[in-house]
Amino acid sequence: MFTGIVSDIGTIRSVEQRGDTRVVIDTAYDTATVDLGASIACSGVCLTVVDKGAGFFAVDVSHETISRTATDQWVEGRRLNLERAMKLGDELGGHIVTGHVDGVADVLGVCPDGDSHRVGFRVPASLAPFLAPKGSVTVDGVSLTVNEVTDQDGGETHFAVNLIPHTQAVTTLGDLAQGSTVNIEIDVLARYLQRMEHYRGR
């Protein structure tokens, strides 16, 4: 379980094709405090630490995960938003995040909004029921508030968020540009509410 509050930006050191894809990630975390088998969210993807050393940890990324996450995420030199799993008693600074990606969004555009940046995204129609103004969404592992949602002709949905200067500085989202792709996780509460609504209508 995570909160969507990024605590480090890691960089992929190497990618090795095995049965799964072994990814080695450079980090500022004190890896002496990271157990083998621990969970770390890597740009919103919950992965298991399978090896570690001074300044790095390694994870195995399955074909399923690669097929469901952002384009070119698992390449050498890619920067990743990192968050270690919550401990009982930790402050819930963002919202409840599971580290299970629900879909991939395309960045429609980025524009200044005061000192912040407003970023627009396009998501598949399947995610539309789970996005609401002032609701929560996780973008590449970052907990954000949805500002507006617009359903478009043709079935796709657009939504926008604001990135304050702090978020731009301490996450990879400050690098977003038109055409970028990002991992999206919907609010877990919205997921359960939609499921309950489905059965209530039967």
Tell me the CA distances in angstroms from 111 to 35, 85, 118, 168, 179, one per residue in order: 41, 33, 5, 13, 14
What domains can be seen in the chain, in order of their start residue? 8-84 (2.40.30.20), 103-200 (2.40.30.20)
Angle at 126 (CA atoms; ends 123, 128), nearest 5 degrees: 65
- Dihedral sign, CA of 83, 22, 17, 62? negative
Report pLDDT digits (tens) over 156-202.
Answer: 899 999 999 999 999 999 999 999 999 999 987 776 676 666 567 66
Average pLDDT (70-82) is 96
Rounded to two decimals, the pTM is 0.91
Q: What is the DSSP string of 144-173?
A: EE--EEEEPTTS-EEEEEEE-HHHHHHSGG
Rounded mean pLDDT of 47-62? 98
How high is the mean pLDDT of the chain?
Answer: 92
